[in-house]
Structure 1
Amino acid sequence: MNFSLLSTMLLALALSSVSSFYVVHAQNSSFSALFAFGDSILDTGNNNLLPTLSKCNFFPYGRNFIGGRPTGRFGNGRVFSDIIAEGLGIKPILPAYRDPSLSNNDLPTGVCFASGGSGLDDRTPRITAVLSIQDQLNDFKDYTAKLNGVVGSQANAVISNAVFLISAGNNDLAIAFPTRMGQYTVFSYTDLLITYTQNLVKSLYDMGARKFAIMGTLPLGCLPGATNTFGNVLKMCQVPANQLATMFNQKLSALVDNIGTQFAGAKFAYVDMYNPLLNIINNPMASGFIDARDGCCCTPTSIVPCLDASRYVFWDIAHPTERSYLTIAPSIVADLKPKLA
């Protein structure tokens, strides 16, 4: 048989299989795909090959993930982007776009562009040596070209019916803002982050995005990195950090409520991460947790990882455990579905 003809036939068969998968999936889900942008709450392994200290592709990270392997996710198992993708009926694992093993079959149902340590302020990823928001947008442009090669004319439908999940602001407030306090007040800096959020939404909208789930920050003053500071014997939440996070979240929520008028045909939902997580921190036993102040792993108070991460609210100094995400996700998914469908 002519080898050129054989190659063409095999390629056509492969593309047909991917397209058929997309059609079947689209019939079984309200959303075609999930795309994640932002920071480590969503990153599923994009930092693994970067020359940065902000990576976790080593044990004990991932010890509760499939196969007990570290994938670059900042936690003991799946992270929030995986869990939301599953909750929306898309798929249980959201692959990292920069994963060398990423296959064409993964593309139609979404990938993750987020980078642990990143933020809206360009200074944030410069400090942490990770992917900036612009880098992530560039990766998305590259993705769309590949998607067109895989599903052809269905590419626009994939993107327009996908959920764009954004988590940014955590590192800007915790890492970059302290270096900018000579330039900005807490009011002007949080305003700046809101402007950056609008710019990100516009960039994605111009590339076809129509469904946005925009996440607020965690209660930054209650993360183990804050509660385990020297002299904080009672491991109390740091009030100023929580006030800063609250200010940003209130502005972000207001933006999401009003931004729809600027983008015809787009739908928006604000994802409150602060209050659901704070409720667990303040009353951990009600949800079956035994420790809400220490990380299970990789902190000065837990050099030896805990035996059961599911009993801890936090995995390390800044990231919730998989079970924490699973605890807060159902109500979030229930809120997202009608708002973005």
Structure 2
Amino acid sequence: MQIYIYHRKISLEETQHARARTQLDTRMQMAANFLYIIFLLLVTVIVLQSNVTAEVPALIVFGDSIVDPGNNNGLKCLAKCNFPPYGRDFKGQSATGRFSNGKIPTDFIASQLGIKEYLPAYLDPGLSDEDLLTGVSFASGGAGFDNITAEVASVYTLWNQLQMFEEYKRKLESAAGIERAAKIVKDSIYIIIAGSNDIMVTYFTSNLRSNYDIPSYVDYIVQAASSFIKNLHNLGVRKIGIAGVPPLGCVPMVRTIRGGITRECVEIYNQASVLLNRELSAELTRLTHDLPISQIIYLDVYSILHDLIMNSSHYGFEEATRGCCGTGKVEATLLCNEELSALTCQDTSKYLFWDAFHPTERAYELLVTPLVKNYLPILF
């Protein structure tokens, strides 16, 4: 018996259809794989964000006007700004006492950590128990590590702020219970921003520390900062980020007073800033070894702000040598007021500085974002 095997001839059209189906199946598989990868990435981001929020229950801040959200409002002093045009770009165009047109660094830090959108002043009369649980700022505009800096300005010294923190801990225990309060204190992130007023005002402007040269006064400031950190550690604080000072010779007010007709950056101020930052960073390294179970990091504000100033157009700024308020050359705090509204800029996003010393909200965001991304995760 013969067996015949039938071979059907496959047409060109059928071959093309088969190839097309294979290609379609391949593309669908690739698309499915891509969507799966995107899904995993989204889940990872959500988990990481939730972990950060869980691990960082609160943000606690000490320092000067850069991070003061209104603690000076009730003081009889010059270093306050709870009046227009301050806060004109803040929620509700409210002059809360923040030394800017809108948000300040601690607002951005708190929001980027997923804690809350705004970090309130500890002395805010409307402060709630929830605010206590998630953090506050004790900062006072005009303060410094050197007590005399704040005393002359009639504002709260760093040591006054430390006393407020002790009071805060007692309130926290009442609101959350002793055990939970202790955990919040231990797991929270603490930010300290001070030193600029010591250099710019106490040393260079007044004669209050005329018996010091720059290196010896820098050492005095660094030891005061070290003592402050040790006191925080004794109160249960374990995660601390302390910022260096900015390039003080390039802020508008210093350019105007000491920068000559062309208002150049003043090198001696910047040199003092660099020296203070170097010595402070070294001291923090020593403290990290000396203080058990503590995480203490140096936040390099100088490099970021110097880059923003020197390469301002790259970041979309049209003006980096003067502030938005008034002429932008000397106006700050009480000198930056509604009477100067005709001279005040219309678009703050084009200005790096809001007044003659403090950056705009947009500049603060550009400053804070790399700090949160590159430095603060070390503390988580």
Check whether TM > 0.5: yes
Answer yes or no: is the 8 Å Cα contact 2:252–2:328 preserved in 1. Answer: no
Out of 150, 159, 164, the residue aligned to residue 185 of structure 2 is 159
SS of residue paired to 2:257: coil
Which residue in 1 is equivalent to 2:335? none
SS of residue paired to 2:84: coil
Amino acid in the other structure paired with 1:125: A
Which residue in 1 is equivalent to 2:378? 339
Amino acid in the other structure paired with 2:155: V
Q: Provide the rounded CA distance (Å) in 2 between the counterparts of 1:336 and 1:30.
A: 16
Answer yes or no: is the 8 Å Cα contact 2:241–2:376 preserved in 1. Answer: no
Give the superposition deviation at 1:229.
2.7
Q: Provide the rounded CA distance (Å) in 1 between the counterparts of 2:158 and 2:92.
A: 31
Alignment of 1:1-341 (within 5 A): 28-152=53-177, 153-178=179-204, 179-229=207-257, 232-299=260-327, 301=329, 303=340, 304-341=343-380
Max Rg structure: 2
Give the superposition deviation at 1:231.
7.0
Give the superposition deviation at 1:215.
0.4
SS of residue paired to 1:29: helix
Answer yes or no: is the 8 Å Cα contact 2:322–2:328 preserved in 1. Answer: no
Structure-2 change in CA distance of 1:45 and 1:26 (3 Å): farther
What is the identity percentage for the equivalent residue pairs of Structure 1 and Structure 2?
39
Show structure 1 runs of 5+ residues with no match: 1-24
Show structure 2 runs of 5+ residues with no match: 1-49, 332-339
Answer yes or no: is the 8 Å Cα contact 2:259–2:265 preserved in 1. Answer: no
Amino acid in the other structure paired with 1:225: M
Aligned Cα root-mean-square deviation (Å): 1.6
Give the superposition deviation at 1:147.
0.3
Give the superposition deviation at 1:272.
1.0
Residues 271-294 of structure 1, C-alpha deviation per residue, up to 9 Å, x if partnerless?
111111111111111001000001
Q: Provide the rounded CA distance (Å) in 2 between the counterparts of 1:309 and 1:144.
A: 38
Give the superposition deviation at 1:328.
1.9
Which residue in 1 is equivalent to 2:24? none
Normalised to the residue count of structure 1, the TM-score between the two structures is 0.90
Answer yes or no: is the 8 Å Cα contact 2:238–2:295 preserved in 1. Answer: yes
- Runs of 4+ in structure 1 deviating by more than 3 angstroms, as ranges, are 25-29, 298-303
Give the superposition deviation at 1:233.
2.5
Q: Provide the rounded CA distance (Å) in 2 between the counterparts of 1:213 and 1:230.
A: 31
What is the number of residues matched between the two proteins? Answer: 317
